[in-house]
Structure formats: structure tokens, C-alpha cells
Amino acid sequence: MTRQVSWHGIYPAVTTKFHENGDLDIPMFLKNIHFQVESGVDGIIIGGSLGESSTITHEDRLALLDATLEAVGHQVDVLLNIAEGRTRSAIELAKKAKVHGAHGLMVLPPMMYKPTDQEVADFFIEVADATDLPIIVYNNPVDYKIEITLDIFDQLQHCPTIQAVKESTRDVSNVSRMRSRFGNRFKILCGVDTLASGRIINGRRWMGCGT
């Protein structure tokens, strides 16, 4: 049975640790994981942008996922990040994440070359249709030059597995536009620490994914 991810609180995208020869340093990685959990986070995102998503392999991600699930999977939500240029590769990793026991996924737009808005929508829809794991999409046009626009979200709202967005446009008014157009359809978590501090929406503090 697929775990229900709460999408509430703090979900840090953790760094990946390495030995000097480039191999994963799992003990040091887990030291950080335990520190995060002891500090009160609500979830962990593995292999995010600052977790070397552009350099680590699928096998590396899954090894980090396995270690995290074994260590703290009973305490917090554990998500695997997907950042791929090819839809098939993204789907393959999503399916492997499910087999390995991930509680959910964070999915970035298709990488490498700047796609059209429809290509972005099609990418997310195909990945979402291929898994029953809950998904948070990462909207960070400042760093990735690809914005998940309101019109794209209009297509994504029909995918039940796409449940949340990591909002990193640096435009706080975008949250208001999302709420006005989609109500509570998408959980909105902030990926920009300085903007998240003290932000209140509808009487609730805007919490979210720290990078």
C-alpha cells in the first residue's frame, strides 16, 4: 500500500556525501540524515539539485534511498528526486523507486535542452501516469530556465499522483495566483528559505522544502 505523504512541514533536499575517490560515503550521509530527523524535519528528499542530481547515477540514488529508508523510513517521509532529460529514464527511475520502497517522488522538468510548455506538461503527465507514488514537482525557473506555468498546472491537476509543488519562482505572488486558480488542489511548499520565513497564507504558515 502506497504511503500517504503529508506535504506539510519541512522537507530538506539533503546533500550527498562522498569519499575522496568519488564513492558514496553512506555513513557520513546517514549522520546528516539522523541530524535532520532529530532536528524535527517531516521528510527527506534524496538526490536533489544540491545532492548532486546532475552527477550521481540511478544506482547511487537507490543506494541512498535504501540506506535512508532503513534508518529513518519509519519516522519521516522519504522521497527520491528525479531529474532526467529523457521521459523513459524518468519513468524507469520512478518504477525502481517504488520497488525500493520510496514514499514519494520529487520530479524536475525535462533537463538538458529547454522544452516547450507542452513538452513540459507531457513529460510530467507521462511520469505521473507511470507510478502511483505521490509527486511534488519542482518549479525553479531561475536555476533551470523552465517555468511550470499556470496553464501547465491546468493540465497537471488531472493527474492524481501530482499532489504538490516546490515553489521556487522567487515571486511570492505566484502562490496567490495558484490559490486563486486551483484552490487547494496542489499543496504548495516553498523552496526559497528567505521567502518562506514568516510567510502566511490563509492563516497558515507557508512551510516547505529547503534546499
> What does 16-84 look like in DSSP terms, one character per residue?
--B-TTS-B-HHHHHHHHHHHHHTT-SEEEES-GGGTTTTS-HHHHHHHHHHHHHHHTTTSEEEEEE--
For 44-54, what is each residue's pLDDT tens digit? 999 998 899 88
Quote the radius of gyration of the chain (alpha carbons, Å): 16
Among candidate residues 11, 17, 138, 144, the one labeled active-site is 138
Residue that is written with C-alpha cell 534508518 in the block: 71
Cα–Cα distances in angstroms (integers) from residue 199 to residues 27, 169, 208, in the given order = 36, 15, 11
Please say if 138 is a catalytic residue: yes
For 47-93, what is each residue's pLDDT tens digit? 998 899 888 999 999 999 999 999 999 999 999 999 999 999 999 99
Among candidate residues 11, 17, 144, 166, the one labeled active-site is 166
Residue 201 vs residue 6, higher pLDDT:
6
Which candidate, 137, 135, 155, places its Cα nearest to that of 147? 137
C-alpha cell at 97: 523507486
At 194 the pLDDT is: 66
Q: What is the mean pLDDT of residues 17-32?
A: 97
List helix spans (H) across 130-172: 141-144, 150-156
Quote the Cα angle for 63-79-84, to 5°: 75
For 119-178, what is each residue's pLDDT tens digit? 999 999 999 999 999 999 999 999 889 999 999 999 999 999 999 999 999 988 999 999
Q: Enumerate domains of the chain plus CATH numbers.
A: 26-205 (3.20.20.70)
